[in-house]
Amino acid sequence: MKIVLHSPGITPIPNNRQPPVRAAVFHRNGGPEVLAVEEMPTPRPGPGEVRIRVGASSMNHLDLWMRRGLPFEIPMPHIGGSDIAGTVDGLGPGVSPHWEGKRVVADPSLNYDWYRLARLPGVRSRPLEIIGEHTQGGFAEYAVVPAANLMEIPEGVSDEVAAAGALVGVTAWHGLMSRGGLTAGERVLVTGASGGVSTMAIQYARAAGAEVFAITSSEESVRLVRALGAHHVFDRNACDWPREIYRATGKRGVDLCLDSVGEAIWRDLVRALAVGGRLVTFGATTGATGTIDIRLLFWRQLSILGSTMGTPDEFRQAMNLVFDGVATPPIHGAMALNEVRKAHELLEAGGVFGKVVLRP
């Protein structure tokens, strides 16, 4: 059963209170042509919420899937944008005045504790939701988020960097550290290495003391991925990368693989794992059906693990590494809100390294 949640941020507000604001909206699913920058009611923060004057909001592939209408329903008309950074300019009831005027970035996960509570007998909780998917998002001049999701941005870190690091940072951290159990000295393979999550995962893994292997798809991407700190980078279009990894690891394989590519390389990824290796998947950009040799699974005692987003504590751990300069999200380009169609086309076409950021 699909549940459509209607965000209070889209409720009309009398014209005598506040003027409308600009937002990138679509009213139906389709291609980039369904997107338009329109005037929308100024969002009002409810209990426990704040309103942010958006400084930057970065794009994710989630925004493309929502626009296309796959595989879920969303509140319509819809404002995307899960990564939100800016300045708090309004407080809902019960919110500490501490946040007024603070420059902040928002954790994009809502109700993440559902993953823990769902395993407890007799305990019911709302399932995981994502800002900008189940609620209205940050591709607008103003957005409303829970105060509990805020993290203050320190001096010297731009709104663009904070927004670009949010969703991808916590996803990379959770996949590598919590689900993957990465430890110093291990060999880790990151696929789709030019993507937002993967670019952060490479930097987090390097900082954790791992030997980092990466797969990407062009000579320029190979250069950029090496600059992020990967020790071994393979252009999947220019070499037999499974064989090269086999050689580079002394015929042992990698201890951990963090994958978002899925179907097209699934069989090869399983074969690339060392004895006791772990494959952590957080996406399936080439298809959702993975084929493996089950004999390898039990003979090598491998583990296949799913991973999505991360806990509030993990969000703060990941963002603190961004704030400290340990990991920096690569920004492919920063574009104005009225260029939202172009931003969607750019991400959809491929060839983006890191993140595309929209600024109101």
Kindly report, residue by residue over 25-60, the tens digit of the pLDDT: 999 999 999 999 999 999 999 999 999 999 999 999
* Residue 4 clears pLDDT 50, i.e. is over it: no
For 191, the domain range is 181-306
Which band of pLDDT confidence, cut at 50, 70 and 90, is reported for residue 13? very low
Looking at the structure, tell me whether residues 187 and 101 fall in a common domain: no
Question: Has residue 112 been placed in a domain?
Answer: yes
Region 99-105: what's the mean pLDDT?
98
pTM above 0.85, yes or no: yes
Question: Has residue 122 been placed in a domain?
Answer: yes
Q: What are 258's two structure tokens?
A: 């963090």
| Strand segments (E) across the chain | 21-26, 35-40, 49-58, 85-91, 103-106, 109-110, 129-130, 142-146, 150-152, 187-190, 211-216, 232-235, 254-259, 273-281, 303-306, 331-336, 355-359
pLDDT digits (tens, 9 = 90+) for 136-155: 999 999 999 999 999 999 99
* Residue 7 clears pLDDT 60, i.e. is over it: no
pLDDT digits (tens, 9 = 90+) for 245-276: 999 999 999 999 999 999 999 999 999 999 99
Question: Has residue 1 been placed in a domain?
Answer: no
Looking at the structure, tell me whether residues 26 and 117 fall in a common domain: yes
Whole-number average pLDDT of the chain: 93
Output the domain CATH number for residue 98: 3.90.180.10
Region 327-348: what's the mean pLDDT?
97
Question: Has residue 175 been placed in a domain?
Answer: no
Say how far apart CA 31 and CA 221 lie, in whole Å. Answer: 27
